[in-house]
């Protein structure tokens, strides 16, 4: 009995010691020498005027370096947070942090467990996005927005099949980045957030077919992409495009302008999960599609600055969850009537239309800027 008890006790001790050892190992995970070397090489090719990487020194565990996150379990480098910090409120006299610039070393390829890479808002002044990023197979998050990259977006990014977020926006005014064929995007079969606003997609004529093969998409931002539609998909009632977007909540196709002469495609009005739709500044023409619409989740709708005309559809009036509605600068006419049941509406812009009637009395409870 006593023997058995002490055996149990020593087993318990042994288990406790093993647990203690393994947990202390977890907490003290130190970085791999090869990964530290890769980061040192990466730093060597960068210009860092504000000394943002000053904690990156050889004698310090690289898991403790600024912007570097290691896995607690394996000690592998799994995240690099290197976005330029931009103060939310600019205080005069505060020194702004300089962007990182220079070259991007191939040594990053040795961070084979990297899941998160944020280089946004730095200034890589005109170098292309490195095609070897496509070999960082563990990446789930890649943000290269506003970082001064130029040229073709490398199709090798299509190998990042674990990616959930891809953000590669660039300046709306220069369209520094281009895509001639977006087919590679179809490889990102788990993508949820896509933002390529400002990237020139005028040659990527299959953009809609491609994003339609990724049903996991939750947010799509393709504003100012010089998108050229897709005439065969346009809202002709005779052509049925089977939208596959079962999770889409945000669709921003604003400021494309090349939709001139086209109706707003009907399939957009069948997206039941959509909460925010921005089609402003697109030169869409003609009336809104006839019902039934199925935009039952819609909260924000911006159709301003197009050449839409005709009378407002009853369907619009039945969007019960609208919070903001912007219909400014169009040529809607006729009567604004029907059942105005927008109890959640807080913002409404009806300026520059040709409505013939006074606004319904219910509207006086909203902030009207007509």
Ligand X SMILES: *[C@@H]1O[C@H](CO)[C@@H](O)[C@H](O)[C@H]1NC(C)=O
Binding residues for ligand X (CB under 6 A):
34, 38, 41, 69, 71-72, 106-107, 109-110, 134, 155-156, 158-159, 184, 212-213, 215, 242, 244, 266, 269-270, 280, 285-286, 292-294, 302, 304-305, 307, 309-310, 320, 324, 326, 328-329, 339, 341, 347, 349, 351-352, 369
Q: Give phi and psi for 106, each to the nearest 5.
A: -65, -10
Is 201 or 322 the residue whose CB approaches ligand X more closely?
322
Smallest separation, CB 64 to ligand X (Å): 12
Smallest separation, CB 319 to ligand X (Å): 10
Three-state DSSP class for residue 340: coil
Dihedral sign (CA 103, 107, 108, 109): positive
- Surface-to-core class of residue 246, CB atoms within 10 Å of its CB (0-12 exposed, 13-18 middle, 19+ buried): exposed
Is 99 or 245 the residue whose CB approaches ligand X more closely?
245
β-bridge mates for residue 118, sequence order: 81, 143
Q: Give phi and psi for 9, each to the nearest 5.
A: -65, -40
The count of other CB atoms within 10 Å of the CB of residue 275 is 17
Is 157 or 177 the residue whose CB approaches ligand X more closely?
157
Q: What is the DSSP code string of 12-39?
A: HHHHHHHHHHHHHHHHT----HHHHHHH
Distance CA 141, CA 200 (A): 22
Q: What is the DSSP code string of 236-280?
A: -TT-------SS--EEE--S--TTTT-PPPGGGGG-TT--EEE--
Is 270 or 360 the residue whose CB approaches ligand X more closely?
270
Nearest to 203 by CA among 272, 152, 249: 152
Is 202 or 347 the residue whose CB approaches ligand X more closely?
347
CB 77 within 8 A of CB 62: yes
**What contacts 278, CB < 8 A, 6 or more positions away?**
223, 251, 252, 253, 254, 300, 302
Smallest separation, CB 158 to ligand X (Å): 4
Is 72 or 181 the residue whose CB approaches ligand X more closely?
72
The residue number whose beta carbon is nearest to ligand X equals 270
Is 46 or 99 the residue whose CB approaches ligand X more closely?
46
Distance CA 28, CA 145 (A): 34
Is 98 or 183 the residue whose CB approaches ligand X more closely?
183
Smallest separation, CB 264 to ligand X (Å): 11
| 136-160 as b/e: b if 16+ CB within 10 A | beebbbbbbbbbbbbeebbbbbbbb
Is 352 or 355 the residue whose CB approaches ligand X more closely?
352
């Amino acid at each position: 009995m006593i023997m058995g008890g002490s055996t149990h006790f020593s087993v318990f001790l042994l288990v406790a010691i093993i647990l203690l050892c393994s947990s202390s190992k977890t907490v003290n995970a130190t970085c791999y020498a090869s990964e530290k070397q890769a980061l040192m090489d990466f730093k060597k090719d960068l210009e860092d005027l504000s000394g943002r990487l000053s904690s990156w020194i050889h004698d310090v565990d690289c898991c403790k370096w600024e912007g570097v996150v290691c896995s607690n379990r394996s000690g592998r480098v799994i995240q690099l947070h290197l976005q330029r910090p931009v103060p939310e409120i600019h205080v005069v006299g505060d020194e702004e942090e300089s962007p990182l610039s220079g070259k991007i070393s191939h040594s990053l390829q040795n961070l084979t467990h990297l899941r998160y890479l944020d280089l946004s808002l730095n200034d890589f002044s005109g170098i292309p996005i490195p095609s070897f990023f496509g070999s960082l197979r563990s990446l789930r998050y890649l943000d290269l927005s506003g970082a001064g990259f130029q040229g073709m977006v490398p199709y090798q990014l299509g190998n990042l099949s674990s990616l959930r977020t891809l953000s590669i926006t660039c300046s709306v005014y220069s369209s520094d980045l281009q895509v001639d064929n977006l087919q590679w995007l179809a490889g990102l079969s788990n993508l949820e957030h896509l933002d390529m606003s400002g990237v020139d997609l005028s040659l990527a004529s299959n953009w809609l077919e491609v994003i339609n093969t990724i049903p996991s998409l939750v947010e799509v931002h393709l504003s100012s992409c010089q998108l050229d539609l897709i005439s065969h998909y346009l809202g002709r009632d005779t052509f049925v495009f089977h939208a596959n977007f079962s999770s889409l909540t945000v669709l921003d196709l604003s400021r494309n302008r090349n939709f001139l002469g086209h109706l707003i495609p009907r399939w957009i009005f069948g997206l039941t999960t959509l909460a925010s739709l921005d089609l402003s500044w697109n030169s869409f023409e003609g009336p809104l599609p006839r019902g039934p619409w199925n935009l039952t989740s819609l909260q924000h709708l911006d159709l301003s600055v197009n050449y839409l005309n005709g009378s407002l559809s009853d369907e619009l009036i039945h969007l019960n969850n609208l919070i903001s509605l912007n219909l400014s600068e169009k040529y809607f006419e006729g009567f604004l009537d029907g059942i105005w049941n927008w109890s959640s509406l807080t913002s409404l812009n009806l300026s520059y239309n040709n409505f013939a009637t006074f606004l319904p009395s219910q509207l006086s409870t909203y902030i009207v800027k007509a």
